[in-house]
Structure 1
Amino acid sequence: MKALIEWVDARFPLVNVAREHLTEYYAPKNFNFWYFFGSLALLVLVLQIVTGILLAMNYKPDADLAFASVEYIMRDVWGGWFVRYMHSTGASLFFVVIYLHMFRGLLYGSYRSPRELIWIIGMVIYLAMMATAFFGYLLPWGQMSYWGAQVIVNLFETLPVIGGPLSEWIRGDYVISDITLNRFYAFHYLVPFILAGLVFAHIVALHKVGSNNPDGIEIKKGPKGNRWSETAPKDGIPFHPYYSVKDLLGTVVFMAVFLGIVFFIPEMFGYFIEQPNYEPANPLKTPEHIAPVWYFTPYYAILRAIPSFAGTQVWGVLAMFVSIVLFFLLPWLDRSPVKSIRYKGPTTRLALALFVVTFLVLGWLGTQAPTTNLTIMSQFFTLVYMLFFLLFPCFSSAGQPLPLLAKGLLALSILTVVATIVYWWALWSGGPAAVYKIGYTVLSVLVLFLLGIRPLLRAEPVKPVPERLTK
C-alpha cells in the first residue's frame, strides 16, 4: 500500500492535498454548534447529486409523460419512492442548512477581511442553488409547479423593452410548454455540477486564509507552536481527526432527522411537496393561490409588497433582486472594529435579531394569499429588511466617523421611511384601518431611530477582544 501511495504521489500530489486540507490544516480550537452546517451542506449536495442521477434514469422530460414518469418512479421502480423523497426532502433541508450557515457568518463576521471572497463565492453558490431549485421545480409537471414556474418566468416580462423577448427566450415558447420542460431539465442536471465546482472554490479560498471562529480572532496572526508543529498556530488544532470526527457526529444526528422526515412526513404538511402537485399540470385551470416553495417565499413577499407604479410591476422585481444582492455588499457595509457578535454592542445584536424575525415573517407572508392587512404587513417587514442593510454602517460604526457613502445610505433610509409612511396614509385608497397605519408608522420610525439615528447620537461601545481564543 505504501508503495502504491508513493507511486501515485509521484504523479499526483495526493498526500500533499490531504495534508494541506485535512491533517495539517489547522482550524481554531473553539468551534461550536454553528460550525456543523458547512460540512452538512457538502453532505446534502452529494446526496442531491446522487439521488438526482438515479431519478434521471427513469424520468421523462416530456409534457405528456413527465407527471406519469414521476408516478412510475414512486410506484413501480424498486426503491423509487425512497429516492424521490430523499431528493425532495434534501432540496428543502439543503436550504435549511445553508440559511443556518449564512446566519453563522452574520453572527461571527465571517464576511469580514480577509474572507470577503469566501463570502462572495458563498453567495454565488446560494444563487446557483436558487437557479437549480427553480429549474427542478417544474420537472414534476404538477399543477403548482407548472403555475409557479409560469408566475416566476412572467416576472421578467415586467422589465421594460427587453422583458417580453427575455421571458420568451427563457421559456423557449410563448407559454410554459414541452420545450420549457426540456431545457429546464437540462439546466437542472447541469447546474449542480457547476455548484460542486463553486463549492470546491469556496473550500480552497477558505483554506487559503483560514477559518473564522466565534471570537473573530485570526489564529494565523497569533502565537505559534503547538504539540503538532512549532510553526502552526498555538490556538489551532488539525482538522483531521478532531473536527472530522466531530462532523461525523453531526452527520449522524442530521441523517436521523433527515430519514425521519423521509419516512414519516416527506411532504412536511405541504411545504416540501405541495398538495396541488399531486395533480397533473392543467394550463386551463389556475390554482386559487399560487406560491413558490417555502425557501423562496421571503423574496416573493418582498415582490408582492411593492405596489405598481407607472403601470408596471418592475419595482417589485427590482426590490426582490436588490434584497438578494445586498448580501454581497455586507463585507463593506459592516464598519465595526470587531468581527464577532460576542464583542459588538446591543444595537447590533438587536438589529441582527430583528433581521432574523423579519426574514421568518416574510417567509410566512409569502405563503399566504394576499389581503389588505397582510399586504401592509409585508410592506412594513420589507422596509425593515432593507433598513437592516442600509443602516448597517450606522449601527456598526461604534462611534467612528461616517464616510460619505454611509451618510448617503442614512439619507436614503430616511427618505424610504418617509415615502412609505406617505404612501400608507395618503396614496393607499381603501387601505387598512387607521390603527394598523398608526402602529406600522410608529414601528417604522422606531426602527429608523434605533438602528440609524441613535448610534450617531450616542456611540455604541464594543467589548475588548482577547488576544487569544476563549473557550
Structure 2
Amino acid sequence: MAGLHKSDIKNPVLNWIDTRMPVFTMMEKEYGSFPTPKNFNYFWNFGALAMVTLAIMIVTGIFLAMNYTPNTEMAFDSVQRIMRDVNYGWLIRYVHQNGASMFFIVVYVHIFRGLYYGSYKAPRELLWIIGVALLLAMMATAFMGYVLPWGQMSYWGATVITNLFSAIPLVGTDIVQWLWGGFSVSNPTLNRFFSLHYLMPFVIVGLVFLHVVALHITGSNNPLGIDVKSPQDTLPFHPYYTVKDSVGLCVFLAIFAAIVFFAPNMLGDPNNFIPANPLQTPADIVPEWYFLPFYAILRSVPNKLGGVAMMFGSIAVLFVLPWLDTSRVRSARFRPIYRPLVFVLVAAVVVLGMVGAHRPEGIWVVLGRVATTYYFLHFLVILPALGILEKPLPLPESISNPVLPRRGGGGGPLPGGVPAAPMEKP
C-alpha cells in the first residue's frame, strides 16, 4: 500500500505496527545491526550500566514518592514509615538510596574511560558536552534527593550548599532566598526540592536520549582511538555487545545487591538518622561521598567567592576539554607522557575526596591545595602543552591490524608490545 513503510518483521502484529510507525525497524538499526568497533573492552559496558541504573532510580523513586510527605513536620517520619510499614518499603528505599552511589560510581568510571581513550576529541565534542551536562543534572538531582529524608545532615547540608550562592556579588542573597522560598531552609524549600527531584530524572532521560543520538551519529570511539576504516573493523551491536553488556550487568547487579542486603548504610551518614534540628549544628557537615572532591576544592580557597568559583570551575573546565587537549592522538595507549598523567589526575581526585571528608586543618589543608592545583594544571596547562611537547607512538593502520592475526602465521603486534597469537593452520 502506498505511503506505508516496508517492514521485514515476520510477526503480523509487530509488522502492522512497524509499517505505520517503524519503531522496531529503528531499534533493529540502532541496537541490532548497528556497526561497532570490534575491539571494545569492558570499560565500554559502563554506558549501558548507567542507563540501567537510571531506570532503577526512576522506578524506585516513583514508588517512594507515593508514600513520602514533603513537609518539614512529617518528612522524617514518612521515611521511617516507608522503612517499617510499607510492604517492601525498606527494599525500595535501600535500592534508591544506594542506587545514587552506584550511579555516580558508574558515571565516574565512564568519564575516566572518556579521558583515558580521548573520547572527547573530534568529532565527538558535542557528545562529551552533553555528557558533562548529564553529570551536572545528576549532581543537582542527587543533592535535592539527599535533602528529602530531613535528617540532620540533610538539613545542614542544604543550608551550607545553598548559602554558597550568597558569595555572588549583588544578586547572591536574592538567589539564596529564592532557592529557600523564604529566609531560611524550611517547608517551602523542602517542597521545591521534592518537586525538582521528581522532575529532574526525566530531564536526565532527555539528555541521555540526546547523548545516544550524538553517539550514533558520530559512532563509538575504541581503545585504539583510531577511526573505523573498513567493515571488517566492526561487529553488529547484537549479539556481540548485548552479550558482553549482559555479563557486566550481572556483575554490577551482584555487587549492588550485596550492598543493599548486607551493608545498606555503609555509604550513609549516621547524623541523617537524627531528625533535622535547626538549633543544633552537627560537629562536621559533610556531603555525600560523590561530592567530596568538589567540596574539598571549595574549602581549599580561603576566599568564599574564590572557592565557589573554583568549585564550579572544576566542572566548567570539562566543557571545554576537547579544545584544551591539543594532541591529535586520542588514546592514552599511544601517548607515553599523557598516560601516567591520567592516573596522577585520578590520584589527585581521590586525595580531594579524602580531604573533603576531614576537617580543613593540618595536613589536609596542604593536601587539598596541592591536589586542587594539580587538577587545574592538568587541564589548563599540561594538556595544551603536551600537544606540542609529546611525541606519540605510531598508530596502527586499522583496528583489524592489532586484533586479527596476519595471513601466513604471524600476528601483528598489540599495543604495549604483546604479540598477537599466530593463526592456526587448518
TM superposition score normalised by structure 1: 0.82
In structure 1, what is the Cα distance between the partners aligned to 2:268 and 2:284? 15
Q: For residue 431 of structure 1, what is the aligned residue in structure 2?
A: none
Q: What SS does the corresponding residue of 1:306 show, helix, strand or coil?
A: coil
Question: Distance between the aligned counterparts of 1:352 and 1:168, measured in 2?
Answer: 41
Instruction: Note if 1:355 corresponds to 2:285.
Output: no
Task: Say if 2:324 and 2:384, in contact at 8 Å, map to a contact too.
Answer: no
Deviation at 1:328, TM superposition (A): 0.9
- Tell me the residue number matched to 2:268: 273
In structure 2, the residue matched to 1:237 is: 235
Structural mapping, 1:231-310, within 5 Å: 233-268=231-266, 272-308=267-303
Match of 1:7 among 7, 10, 16: 16
Q: Superposition pairs for residues 193-212 of structure 1, below 5 Å?
A: 193-212=202-221
Does the aligned pair in 1 maintain the 2:157–2:286 contact within 8 Å? Answer: yes
Aligned to 1:385: 375
Aligned mates of 1:16, 1:253 — CA distance in 2: 31
Query: What is the deviation of 1:462?
Result: 0.8
Within-5 A mapping of 1:405-444 = none
State how far apart, in whole Å, the 2-side matches of 1:334 and 1:20 are.
34
CA distance in 1, matches of 2:233, 2:354: 42
Q: C-alpha distance in 2, partners of 1:392/1:234? A: 37
Q: In structure 2, the residue corresponding to 1:253 is in which secondary structure?
A: helix
Query: Is the Cα–Cα contact under 8 Å of residues 333 and 392 in structure 1 kept in the other structure?
Result: no
Query: For residues 218 and 136 of structure 1, what CA distance do their matches in structure 2 show?
Result: 41
Where structure 1 has 5 or more consecutive residues not aligned to the other structure, the ranges are: 224-232, 400-458
Q: RMSD in angstroms over aligned alpha carbons?
A: 1.0
Report the alpha carbon displacement of residue 377 of structure 1 after superposing the two structures with TM. Answer: 1.8
Q: Which whole-Å CA distance do the structure 2 matches of 1:175 and 1:377 have between them? A: 34
The alpha-carbon deviation at position 15 of structure 1 amounts to 2.9
The alignment status of 1:368 with 2:366, answered yes or no, reads no
- 1:320 counterpart = 2:311: yes
Post-superposition shift, 1:267? Answer: 1.2
CA distance in 1, matches of 2:67, 2:290: 27
d(CA) in 2 for partners of 1:180 and 1:186? 10
Q: For residue 337 of structure 1, what is the aligned residue in structure 2?
A: 328
Write the mapping of 1:390-401 to structure 2, written as runs, cut at 5 A: 390-397=380-387, 399=388
Displacement of 1:125: 0.4
* 2:109 paired residue among 100, 106, 110: 100
Q: Is the 8 A contact 2:69 2:75 kept in 1?
A: yes
- Partners of 2:340 and 2:21 in 1: CA distance: 51
The answer on whether the counterparts of 2:351 and 2:367 sit within 8 Å (CA) in structure 1 is no
Q: In the TM superposition, what are the counterparts of 1:36-47 in structure 2 within 5 Å?
A: 36-47=45-56
What SS class does the counterpart of residue 100 from structure 1 fall into?
helix
Same amino acid, percent of matched pairs: 49
Q: Please state if 1:161 is matched with 2:156.
A: no
**Is residue 462 of structure 1 aligned with residue 379 of structure 2?**
no
Separation in 1, partners of 2:183, 2:344: 42
What's the CA shift string for 1:11-39, capped at 9, x where partnerless? 21123212221122110000002111110
- Residue deviations 1:140-189, cap 9 Å, x none? 00001110110000000111110100000011111100110001000000
Q: Supply the distance in 1 between the matched residues of 2:20 and 2:386 (Cα, whole angstroms).
A: 51
What residue identity is the alignment partner of 1:343? Answer: F
1:119 to 103, 128, 141: 128
CA deviation vs aligned residue, 1:87-113 (integer Å, no higher than 9, x gap): 011000100000000000001100000
- Tell me the distance in 2 between the aligned counterparts of 1:366 and 1:254: 27
Structure 2: gaps (5+ residues): 1-9, 404-426
Provide the rounded CA distance (Å) in 2 between the counterparts of 1:24 and 1:97. Answer: 26
* Superposed CA offset, 1:319-346 (max 9, x none): 101111001111001111210011112x
Deviations, residues 201-234 of structure 1 (Å, cap 9, x unaligned): 1011101111000001111xx12xxxxxxxxx22
Which residue in 2 is equivalent to 1:216? 225
Shift in Å at residue 395 of structure 1?
A: 4.0
d(CA) in 1 for partners of 2:158, 2:23: 44
Q: 1 CA distance for matches of 2:157 and 2:277?
A: 12
1:7, 1:371 → 2: CA distance? 69
Partners in 1 of 2:23 and 2:294 — Cα distance?
A: 43
Structure 1 distance, partners of 2:13, 2:253, is: 34
CA distance in 1, matches of 2:282, 2:145: 20
Deviation at 1:392, TM superposition (A): 3.5
TM-score (norm 2): 0.90
Q: Deviations over 1:214-272 (max 9, x none)?
A: 001111xx12xxxxxxxxx221000011101111111111100000000001111xxx2
Letter in 2 for 1:460: E
Comparing 127-136 with 387-396, greater Cα deviation is found at 387-396
Q: Secondary structure at the match of 1:208?
A: helix
Deviation string, structure 1 residues 361-402 (Cα, Å, up to 9, x no partner):
0011101112133112211111111101111344421x4xxx
Superposition deviation, residue 278 in structure 1: 0.3
